Chains A and B, each alone.
Chain A
Amino acid sequence: MRTHWFTPWLYVIPALATLVFFLIYPSFNTLVISFFGPQSEKLVGFANYIYCFTNEIMLSAFRNNLLWVALFVPLTVFLGLILAVILDRVRYESLVKSIIFMPMAISFVGAGVIWKFVYSYRPTGSAQIGILNAFLTFLGRQPIPWLIERPWINNICLIIVGIWIWTGFCLVVLSASYKGIPRELLEAARVDGANEYRIFWKITLPLMKPTVAVVATTMFINVLKVFDIVYVMTNGAFSTEVIANRMYKEMFIFRNYGRASAIASLLLLFIIPMIIINVQRFREQEAFR
């Protein structure tokens, strides 16, 4: 479209200005602050970063985020993939999809309350009102303080909440991709005598690979930034700390902006590969004429 040279800028500048003010400038500023003391009064070099990699709670936060990555990412993607394929064969597909997708609509805070109740624990002898411990008691076992039992059980319990929330996202995106595979392709393989298992690994999965990659990177980014679930359910107590919650605490409880900025910068550092992948994928798609 032919326009005056300045016309496009009238349309773009509000967006550009907002992004510069809320994303670009602050990001650079945070990088700078991360080399300064608690209230940015004096330069401290790499001290805040050294703190991140030597402090015990920070190290446990890194370990926990790693556990989140190792369990949350494969399980959400795998569950989403399996459900996308098998739900395609049943008539009540859309109903089950809605059920699994529903947690995406509610807040992580709401989900935190829901699951804190599921995990709720009372000492042996009193009536258990959390369904998990009621079930254990029913089986004649001892109840378990799910969110206190460190370091594995409580972290895994939190990760399950994340999986409950995000599997629906994976399912919806992967299901759309699965339905895009030409049915004749799968039929032809069946006629040739391939079993369903082989078809999944040799045809379905390779064709869905780009979408699986998108979903997996999205889940990876989510997991690095996981905050609300931990903040509401344990607030990092009993070795359940994660990077983003630690950043919040350094910022708001301890008022140490230097350390908080260093933690945020590390978070960005871990996400940068994803930014590059995103931009490259975008260029490959040639979505931009």
Chain B
Amino acid sequence: MIAKQNRFLLSLPLHIFIILVALIWIFPTAGLLITSFRPASEVASSGWWTVFANPFDFTQFTLSNYKDVITNIGIGRAFVNTLIITIPACIIPIIIASFAAYAFAWMEFWGRRFFFILFVGLLVVPLQMTLIPILRIFNQLGLSGSFLGIWLAHAGYGLPLVIYLMYNFVSGLPSEIFESATIDGATTFQIFKSIVLPLSVPALASITIFQFIWVWNDLLVALVYLGGTPDVAPLTVRISALVGSYGQNWELLTAAAFVSMLLPLIIFLSLQRYFVRGILAGSIKG
């Protein structure tokens, strides 16, 4: 009993340290969330922590900031734009990469090793190296400011990591499957479609979540290829513009920011396992 108490006392600083760190990590986000539900006059005159004076007084909260940002400031539109951008920008590279990863893992061809090492090298090439030439091409083709342009751009930028992750998974499948399928007379495409893809579902789930969050949260690619036009601008672009124009309207900024965080947070909280798996497998990337 005494030993147990001693151990608890010894580890007390440890617990305090951990709880302190956790609080530091939570506080900023909590401030954002609470502020987004407070009326403008309150936000401007007192700190968000004052709501804890009467935590059960729900009259101090309001949904009007959300109504405002979604309908009047274009965050609703930006949310839809972000969805329109993100979904194809996830699907396209994953399809292209699945084909390539399968060939790299299970077929023999000239230059296989060279090309794969090239892909690994491309994992960390900074996007900045590609922006100007592609923007010029997009301008000529009329693709800048269009969803098609940004889908393709995200597909290109996401591809090295997606291929790398898919390769790691597909190359780990047992070779007997491929041998027996070949003996049974299956073509490479039949093997791909009815063996490789179904078996890769767990990996595909991690990779999709990874790419989804990456594209959803992207600012630079959208800024460069879409510009600030409200018709096409995603949440990140819209909100960074709001920071300039509504800099002191914290009730609006916080509500807008929370709208942008909602979907990634839901995905993160419900599918954290897959997200972590993706991060562990891809930690080579920069």
Contact = CB atoms under 8 A, between A and B. Distances in A.
Contact of B124 (A89, A90, A169, A278): A278
A214 B49 CA distance: 40
Contact of A257 (B31, B96, B132, B240): B132
Contacts of B22: 95-96, 99-100
Interface in A165-198: 169, 172-173, 176
B117 interface: yes
B75 interface: no
A264 B163 contact: no
Nearest to A134: B47
B245 to A, nearest CB: 13
A107 interface: yes
A261 B99 CA distance: 33
A11 B125 contact: no
Nearest to A5: B109
A131 B49 contact: yes
Nearest to A229: B219
A69 interface: no
Interface of B: 11, 14-15, 17-18, 21-22, 25-29, 31-32, 35, 43-49, 93, 96-97, 99-100, 102-104, 106-109, 112-113, 115-117, 119-134, 152-153, 155-157, 159-160, 163, 168, 171, 178, 182, 188, 191-192, 213, 216-220, 223-224, 235-236, 239-240, 243, 250, 253-254, 256-258, 260-261, 264-265, 267-269, 272, 275-276, 279-280, 283-286
Given A1-B191, A225-B128, A268-B125, 11 more contacts: A12-B115, A22-B153, A101-B276, A110-B239, A110-B260, A131-B48, A134-B47, A222-B286, A231-B219, A268-B129, A283-B117
Q: Lowest 6 CB-CB distances: which A-B pairs, in order? A: A22-B156, A221-B286, A107-B217, A15-B100, A105-B268, A11-B103
Interface of A: 1-3, 5, 7-9, 11-12, 14-16, 18-19, 21-27, 29-30, 33, 83, 86-87, 89-90, 95-96, 98-110, 112-118, 120, 127-131, 134, 164, 169, 172-173, 176, 214-215, 217-218, 220-222, 224-225, 227-228, 231-233, 244, 247-248, 251-252, 257, 260-261, 263-265, 267-268, 271, 274-275, 278-279, 281-283, 287-289
